[in-house]
Structure 1
């Protein structure tokens, strides 16, 4: 079997989440954005597909911004439009020539081949590598008529979820005060979540005399304390604060979290300073988890293990270039007896966690906000990939391949045609 084509179908999607100038997600006025269906086609008719996004937010009754017109008829495309076409150009112009003629089951060879191109093609990101890798895993699962997690070894069929918030904001009724974090944590607990993670404020205020433009770490602690007091001791709590605190600021936060019985502290300092994390892990009893944003795939995480920089290892399927490299990191953690927690939601993450025989205890469900409803089926899918049951568990898709039920009619209606 040989690959004969890589296809990218671009389509419009409604969106109510966007990024601020610092790159953090917040609720925004309704706009049209762009996603893609990626298809790898073989000479024997077998195909693998991957949809670049599997989550969608709808406004709650608290949403204060402008909404899109009624989309039930497939019209109303006016409004701002976020284009991601540069990623799709990389797929077609850089990746596609290296796929044609390859055996689609030789995922390791293909991944090595493509990852080697990153040195000369910086626009070939780890996320793009991951989309190709997941498409190939989907193809393998469909040919074998098995879900991907069973091809990976298979270990469990349900995974505990935690609610992961957006970062702190200045919206009244949003996440602007410790009390609002507590309100939202209480609502998530009532929904069935058994664990809750705060992303606190990321504000940087620069003046002519600024030395370090960090938020106030004591405000983070106040929010963490308000949440613990509101939800009680029977729910697991985590914190992912501003990412460039000093050593002393991170230590202060960590010691306060220990008093509040928090489960982990995530990325409070620059992750390229591995020695700082080794120092912090040594100082604290609360587990330090990382790295999340440190580039370098398995190589960076090996350095973290060797230098004892984290008590819980961190990696994301989309952040390290796919399932193929992610499972190498799983086995690295297993060999050293270190838990590994997966970063970010998505169908690839679900299959990865379900195949792990070490913790991975949780699936990160988010990013969540009081203004947005996560529990809706994206219009380009026929069902959610990660619906949560009343006990706070996510069931792994059991269909062949990745098990994503795609609404091809919607994609065709909203398809973007190149002119």
Structure 2
């Protein structure tokens, strides 16, 4: 079996999902590039690539630097291809962090479809379900956080993660208001995506301990390893880190070796696909840590996250980015979450989800193809 075709569709969304503080003065459309690999026996591997800020950059890297590596290759040579992409990344001066992952996902999708198995069983099944936590966007008022958490509680989802906007004093008000409104039994988490000082993070962390939050995520930039080490030593609440750490499992290993994370984070978009995410999860397991998989902000790739989470033991929750309709694009249908707040992994071969190809073609601004015989469009 060989890869004979590599196709990409740059699909525009014409909307931004984050607040002005995080956009800066540059535009931040949350576009998607759809990736399809086709083999000589007609099996298709499909993934979606995040194209925030510049779909043109994402598309160009895929077509100019990654597509040619794949042509004519055996899709079962995932590990060799994965390492070759690392070598290219080293000499190019770094791909966007979310670029190699979708290609790796497409290779796994081909292999699982060829085997007639859902991805999680092809990897090696551990379970079929996970509880979800609703993970909201940034809001302007304390009450908006409370209202959102109560809404998803009414749908049977008994865990909620806030992304408070800062400064830390406002974040602490949000933490308290959520516990007061949701009650002692509701699972609460927080991810300020912050730039706290060390003393601010300790102050917030001790409040979270008093309020019985499940974990405290990303109070600093992930490269601030020494601050994380001191914070982990000062607090009892688990500190989650490494969401944006470069270097896949090699990068995460530095945080683990320096006692700079109690929980590590990974996903199939930002951590070099299924291959990279499994490496991180197994590394964390060897050190007795959880690897909590974080959203890709694309429902299709989040289903791939779910497959990985059901093939490992050291992940406790599924991150459900809300409101869902903003992250469904361009997948058909909703995520399979039931009235008890559990998500069940699909059983169809491969990823087990369909993309909305009519929508993709309607909103596509650029389509490119590389074929084995040398034809390129």
Do both share a fold (TM > 0.5)? Answer: yes
Look up the SS of the partner of 1:233 in the other structure: coil
Q: 1:352 aligns with which of 298, 302, 308?
A: 308
Q: Give how far 1:411 is off.
A: 2.6
Q: Give how far 1:251 is off.
A: 0.3
Matches of 2:351 and 2:30 in 1, distance apart? 24
Aligned to 1:37: 34
Alignment of 1:407 with 2:371, yes or no, is no
Look up the SS of the partner of 1:286 in the other structure: coil
8 Å contact from structure 2 (residues 97, 246) kept in 1: no
Q: Which residues of 2 match residues 219-238 of structure 1 at below 5 A?
A: 219-238=170-189
Q: 2:233 aligns with which of 260, 264, 282?
A: 282
Q: 2:245 aligns with which of 290, 294, 306?
A: 294
Look up the SS of the partner of 1:41 in the other structure: strand
Q: Give how far 1:34 is off.
A: 4.2
42-51 or 246-255: bigger deviation:
42-51
Deviations 1:32-57 (A, max 9, x none): 9743321112222222122347xxxx
CA 1:116–1:32 in structure 2 vs 1: closer, same or farther (change >3 Å)? closer
Q: Give how far 1:264 is off.
A: 0.6
Matches of 1:35 and 1:286 in 2, distance apart? 36
- Higher Cα Rg, which structure: 1
Alignment of 1:364 with 2:315, yes or no, is no
Deviations 1:50-74 (A, max 9, x none): 2347xxxxxxxxxxxxxxxxxxxxx
Q: 1:186 aligns with which of 139, 146, 150?
A: 150
Q: CA RMSD in A?
A: 2.5
Q: 2:99 aligns with which of 117, 128, 138?
A: 128
Matches of 2:228 and 2:41 in 1, distance apart? 50
8 Å contact from structure 1 (residues 288, 310) kept in 2: yes
Aligned to 2:259: 308
Q: Give how far 1:278 is off.
A: 1.3
CA 1:306–1:32 in structure 2 vs 1: closer, same or farther (change >3 Å)? closer
Look up the SS of the partner of 2:348 in the other structure: coil
CA 1:381–1:158 in structure 2 vs 1: closer, same or farther (change >3 Å)? same
Aligned to 1:240: 191
Q: Give how far 1:303 is off.
A: 1.5
Q: Give how far 1:187 is off.
A: 1.5
Deviations 1:99-158 (A, max 9, x none): 112111110000100121112224622311001001111111111111111111111111
CA 1:315–1:11 in structure 2 vs 1: closer, same or farther (change >3 Å)? closer
CA 1:400–1:200 in structure 2 vs 1: closer, same or farther (change >3 Å)? same
Alignment of 1:381 with 2:321, yes or no, is no
Alignment of 1:199 with 2:196, yes or no, is no
8 Å contact from structure 1 (residues 118, 125) kept in 2: no
Larger helix percent: 2
Deviations 1:250-290 (A, max 9, x none): 00000111111111111112321212111111111111111
Q: Give how far 1:409 is off.
A: 3.0
Matches of 1:282 and 1:16 in 2, distance apart? 38
Look up the SS of the partner of 1:17 in the other structure: coil
Q: 2:293 aligns with which of 342, 354, 357?
A: 342
> When the two structures are superposed, what TM-score results if normalisation uses the length of structure 1?
0.80
Deviations 1:352-383 (A, max 9, x none): 1011122x1111111x3xxxx42589474332
8 Å contact from structure 1 (residues 90, 123) kept in 2: no
8 Å contact from structure 1 (residues 375, 387) kept in 2: no
Q: How many residues align?
A: 360
8 Å contact from structure 2 (residues 17, 30) kept in 1: no
Matches of 1:377 and 1:341 in 2, distance apart? 19
CA 1:17–1:140 in structure 2 vs 1: closer, same or farther (change >3 Å)? same
Unaligned runs of 5+ in 1: 54-80, 168-174, 203-214
Matches of 1:191 and 1:220 in 2, distance apart? 25
Q: 1:254 aligns with which of 195, 200, 205?
A: 205
8-17 or 38-47: bigger deviation:
8-17
